[in-house]
Amino acid sequence: MSATSQPGGILLVIPAWCETVRLNAFASRLFPALAASGLPVTVQIVDDGSPAHLAEALAERCSAWRAQFPFVQPLHRLPANIGKGGAIYAGWDLAGEAAWLAFCDADGSVDADEVVRILNTALTSPDPVCYCASRHIQGAQTHWGSILRQVLSHLFAAWVRWHTRLPLRDSQCGAKVIPRAIYRGAKGRLSEKRYAFDVELMLACFRAGVAIQEIPVRWSWQPGSRIKLARDGFSMLCAVRRIGRTRIRTAF
C-alpha cells in the first residue's frame, strides 16, 4: 500500500528498530515543526522487525500522532530486522506521488528544525540534487559526547573517501533527501541494507552524475545508539571497501 504523499512533495521515512522511547521524544519536536512549516511532507515510520510488544506500542503511537498530524502514516511493520537501509528503502517503496525521498534518524541527533530546513532546501531546488546533512563541514554545530566518537567519525569518513572517491566529508549523518527518480533508477542495484547503505546510495548518485550537496547541521549525539563498535565497526569498513569496488550503474 502506498503512502498518501502529495504530488511533488516529500516522503520522509523514519526507520525504527526498538526506538519507541527516543522516537517519541524526537516526534514531539519534529511533527510540530513540520506542521508549522507548511511543507508538503508525508511521514512514514518503518518498524524494522522490533519485538512484537514494541512494534505494537509504536503502532499505537503512530495512530495517536496521526490524529493530531494527518501527514503521519500508519506504521509500516517489517516482519524481521533487515537493517536501517533496508527499512528506509521499504518506506521509500511506498512513495506514492512524492517527487522527493528523505529519511532522518529516529534518535533526533539531527535537530528537528534542521530536518525541516533540509527538506525545504530540496523543495525549492530547481535541479535534481542529493542533499546530505553533514557534521564535518564549516558551519556544522556538533556535540559528539566524546573525543573518541569524533575521531572515529572522521576516520570512517576518510576511509569512505579513500575507497569510493566520493566528494563527501560526511556520508553517515542521519538525514538525506534525494530525487525520487534517482532512487527508482538505482534501487535494483542497491544491495547494502545495513549501516553502510548511505555510502552505496550516494555513490550511485555520484556515478550517475547527480550533484551531491552537503548541508551543515546542528547535531548532538544521543545515548542509546544501536551501532556497537565491536559488532558493527569492522563490518562497516568491509562493506565500504566492497562498495567501492562495485560498479553501480544507474538507469533513468
Q: Residue 34 has which C-alpha cell?
A: 513540520
* Mean pLDDT in residue range 195-201: 90
* Residue 226 binned pLDDT confidence (cut-offs 50, 70, 90): low
**Number of neighbours of residue 66 by Cβ within 10 angstroms:** 16
Q: In this model, does residue 198 exceed pLDDT 70?
A: yes
Please tell me the predicted confidence (pLDDT) of residue 248. Answer: 46
Confidence of residue 251 (pLDDT cuts 50, 70, 90): very low
The pTM of this model reads: 0.91
Mean local confidence (pLDDT), 92-107: 94
pLDDT score, position 229? 57
| Cβ atoms within 10 Å, residue 1 | 8
Could you give the count of Cα atoms lying within 13 Å of 146 in the half-sphere of its Cβ?
5
Phi, psi of 84 (to 5 degrees): -55, -50
Task: Specify burial of residue 224 (Cβ count, 10 A radius: 0-12, 13-18, 19+).
Answer: exposed
Looking at residue 56, what is its pLDDT?
96
pLDDT band, residue 249 (cuts 50/70/90): very low
Q: Does 114 have pLDDT greater than 50?
A: yes
Q: Does the structure show a pLDDT above 60 at 77?
A: yes
pLDDT at 2 > cutoff 60: no
- Give the domains, in start order, of the chain with CATH numbers: 10-245 (3.90.550.10)
Q: Using one digit for the tens of pLDDT, what is the confidence trace for 6-55?
A: 677 999 999 999 998 999 999 999 999 999 999 999 999 999 999 999 99
The predicted pLDDT at position 250 comes to: 41
Provide the mean pLDDT of the chain: 90
Q: Which three cell numbers stand for residue 163?
A: 575507497
Count CB neighbours of 210 within 10 A. Answer: 21
Position 5 scores a pLDDT of 65
Are 217 and 135 spatial neighbours (Cβ–Cβ below 8 Å)? Answer: yes
Q: Indicate the residue type of 64.
A: A
Backbone dihedral angles phi then psi of residue 199, each to the nearest 5 degrees: -65, -45
8 Å CB contact between 236 and 213:
no
Higher pLDDT, 195 or 106: 106
* Contact status, residue 215 vs residue 238, Cβ threshold 8 Å: no
Report the b/e string of 73-97 with b at 16+ CB within 10 A.
bebbbbeeebbbbbbbbbbbbbbbe
pLDDT band at 244, cuts 50/70/90? confident
- The answer for residues whose C-beta is within 8 angstroms of residue 42's C-beta and 6 or more apart is 3, 4, 5, 6, 9, 10, 11, 12, 71, 73, 96, 98
Percent of the chain clearing pLDDT 90 (strictly above): 69
